[in-house]
Amino acid sequence: MPRYALRIEYDGAPFNGWQRQAGQPSVQGAVEGALAKLEAGLPSIAAAGRTDTGVHATGQVAHCDLSRDWDPFRLQEALNYHLKPAPVAVLAAARVGDDFHARFSAIERRYLFRLLARRAPATLDRGHVWQVTHPLALAPMQEAAAHLLGLHDFTTFRAAQCQAKSPVKTLDEITVEAIPVPHGTEFRFRLRARSFLHNQVRSIVGTLERVGAGAWTPGDVKDALEARDRAACGPVCPPQGLCLAGVGYPSDPFA
C-alpha cells in the first residue's frame, strides 16, 4: 500500500485533542473521516505528536497508507474538500517510503507559545493566545529560560499522568521575544527538542510568566528544575496559546 505524509494545520479549539476518542471530536477523527470518503476500510493514521485539547498546529505531520496510487496534489485537494467545514487543512501531501513513520522518524518538534500582555481583551487572536492583564519583563524571562536549555531531568515540568519512560530530555532551543502590539505586548516562546514530556511546554511557559511578573526570580526556575519535583513547578498555563509549529526529519518529505 502506498504511504503518504500529510502536513496538517488546525485550530484545536473545537477538538478534544489530536487523538481519536469515542464520542468526542478529534483532529485525527476529522482527517480519518475525510480519508474514508476517498477509500473505505483504511487503517488508522499516525501523527508526529498527540496535541492536547485546545492546542493548535501549523506543522503537524501524519502518515497514512492508501490502496490507490494518488497524485499528492490531488490527494491534498480531495482531503481539504471533505474536511470542510472543520477548521483543519492539509497543507501538503507527499509520497514517502514504507519506512517513514510520522512519529518515530521525527528528529525534532518545534512549538510556539503566544502570550498577550494587555488589559484590553483579545479580539482577532482570541482563542490563540494566553492573555494576562499585567505587564511582563522580558529580560528576566530570557535569563530564566537559559537555565532550561540542554540535557536535564525535567520531572518538575512533567504532568503527573505523563507516560514517557524517562523525564530526561534535551531542550535544544528555548527563546523568548517581545513584539509590541496595540496597547500591549505579545511574548513568543519558541521551544525545540527531539521530543517533549506531557505538559512540558505549558509548564515551562507558566513558570516563566511568573518570572516576568516578578513573582519568581530566574534563580527560582533553576532551583525548581533541580528539585525534580512536580510540586516545585509554577502554574501550568492554558492550552490556547500553544501551537505545534513544525516537525523535523532527516530529510524533508515535502521538499
Positions annotated as catalytic residues are 52
Identify which of 7, 8, 4 has the alpha carbon closest to the alpha carbon of residue 86: 8
SS3 category, 229: coil
Distance of alpha carbon 200 from its chain centroid, rounded?
A: 11
CA distance 240 to 54: 5
Give me the count of residues in the chain.
Answer: 255
Place of cell 498546529: 57
Provide the 3-class DSSP secondary structure of residue 156: helix
